Amino acid sequence: MDDAEEMDIEQQQPLPNTSKRFGIKNSIQTNFGDDYVFQIVPKNDWTSMAVSLSTNTIKLYSLATGQYIGECNGHTSTINQISFSSPSSPHVLHSCSSDGTLRAWDTRSFQQVFSVSGGPSQEIFSFSFGGANHNLLAAGCNSQILFWDWRTKRQIACLEESHTEDVTQVHFIPGYDDRLISASVDGLMCLFDTGGDINDDEQLVSVLNVGTSIGKVGFLGEKNQKLWCLTHIETLSVWDWKDERTVASFEDARSLASKSWMADSVDYFVDCHYSVEEDRFWVIGGTNGGSLGYFPVSYKETRAIGPPEAVLCGGHEGIIRSVLSGVPGETMDNHGIFGWTGGEDGRLCCWLSDGSGTSQSWISTLALKSEKTRKKSRHSPY
């Protein structure tokens, strides 16, 4: 069983900048081997979180305390995505893997309850539930997009002409249940109408050319009409998928973020975060040493990446792969927790707001040391 080890924290003098800093509440070593944390996702009621590891295992922990709950085993290769997105039950967790399978797990018993295969020698990189009748399960499988009716487990379509390289992302657009966005290493984002019979000729609505390999995409703005895109060369862009146009492009996003960060420089981007309530957008950048900053992005009249509004440091000793958090200045729950992070040092770190409302620096005085020196290069299937 994994135990959360409490971390001592030490208050420092206020910092001269306006960044809000967060301190370690606790840190969990997921294994004591050479493993990575790939992704952290919350259960819909925010009582627990699932964590995918480079050991091809999914572990579950209490989101509030970090207490180990159990684990799901069965994948035989890299787990590329996990999500509590099942239309049928809030207890079901889905995962897809480079072993060519997409599986469902009952997180009460930790047993597999569903599995579909993309076929021999296939890798599944992403998946999404949607469709006009809420019956579709779409998955990016090598350069194809596969569709199943999740209720019958029957494959109903395969789109194989829209992309020429691996499909890294598929997302049904929130509020537009029949519209699907795909993104690929070939640098293209494709919009499909999945109503009716699904095929390459009639369902492809538009193509947006980013021009370089795409890592992650997500939605923002009123009615989710905007689309953000992070690439594997650390560029950021915002698109209007309805009007089929670029809203803002930050080819030098990493250098802009680094220039605004007085204390450090950005080596890579982890993710983006959008607040519907505030209509604000942040890009989350990290350092090879394990620090993280939330950088506000202006993409409307003025295009800029500002100084970090939240900084997480003192918990990780390597590249951070996943972030589960609220927005800067807020907590996720009534325990005062700002969020959780996971990285290539095999750690899960819980971050606690100091609650003072001022720019205090909280530095951990105890850190779990890695068993062996880890490589600084960023490992990822994409």
pLDDT of residue 287 exceeding 90, the answer is yes
For 240, the token pair is 């209007």
In angstroms, the CA 350 to CA 341 distance is: 7
* pLDDT given for residue 87 in this prediction: 72
Cα 205 to Cα 219: distance, rounded to the nearest angstrom: 18
Quick one: pLDDT at residue 56? 96
Indicate the pLDDT class of residue 337, thresholds 50, 70 and 90.
Answer: confident
Say if residue 85 is exposed, middle or buried (CB neighbours under 10 Å; 0-12, 13-18, 19+). middle
pLDDT score, position 333 = 63
Cβ neighbours for 173, distance < 8 A, ≥ 6 positions apart: 130, 179, 180, 181, 219, 224, 241
This prediction has a pTM of 0.86
pLDDT at residue 32 in the model: 57
Name the token pair of 306: 């500002």
SS3 197: coil
Q: Give Cα 161 distance to the centre of its chain.
A: 27
Examine the pLDDT at 239 and tell me if it is beyond 50.
yes
User: Which pLDDT belongs to residue 263?
Assistant: 81
CA 146 to chain centre: 22
pLDDT in tens, 88-138: 789 999 999 999 999 999 999 999 999 999 998 899 999 999 998 899 999
Mean pLDDT, the chain, rounded, equals 85
Nearest to 15 by CA among 311, 242, 218: 311
Supply 42's token pair: 């919350």
Q: Is the pLDDT of residue 207 over 90?
A: yes
pLDDT at residue 135, as a whole number: 92
Mean pLDDT to the nearest integer, 221-238: 97
Place 365 in a pLDDT band, splitting at 50, 70 and 90.
very low
Top-confidence residue, 3 or 68: 68
100-125 in b/e form (b: 16+ CB < 10 A) is bbbbbbbbeebebebebebeeebbbb
- pLDDT at site 381: 52
Mean pLDDT along residues 149-156? 92
Give the per-residue pLDDT at 262: 85
Task: Give pLDDT, residue 1.
Answer: 43
CA distances from 329 to 4, 22, 155 (A): 25, 10, 45
- pLDDT on residue 85: 86
Alpha-carbon distance of 295 to 299, in angstroms, equals 13
Region 54-77: mean pLDDT is 95
C-alpha dihedral sign at 150, 152, 155, 157: negative
Instruction: Identify the weakest region by mean pLDDT among 5-14, 154-163, 195-204, 238-247.
Output: 5-14
192 vs 361: which has the higher pLDDT: 192
CA–CA distance from 340 to each of 24, 41, 157, 215, 381 (Å)?
A: 10, 10, 37, 21, 23
Walk across the sheet containing 245-250 and list its strands.
Answer: 214-220, 226-231, 236-240, 245-250
**Using an 8 Å Cβ cutoff, are 252 and 305 in contact?**
no
Exposure on the CB side of residue 128, measured as CA atoms within 13 A: 22
Question: What is the per-residue pLDDT for 280?
Answer: 94
How many alpha carbons fall within 13 Å on the CB side of residue 313? 22
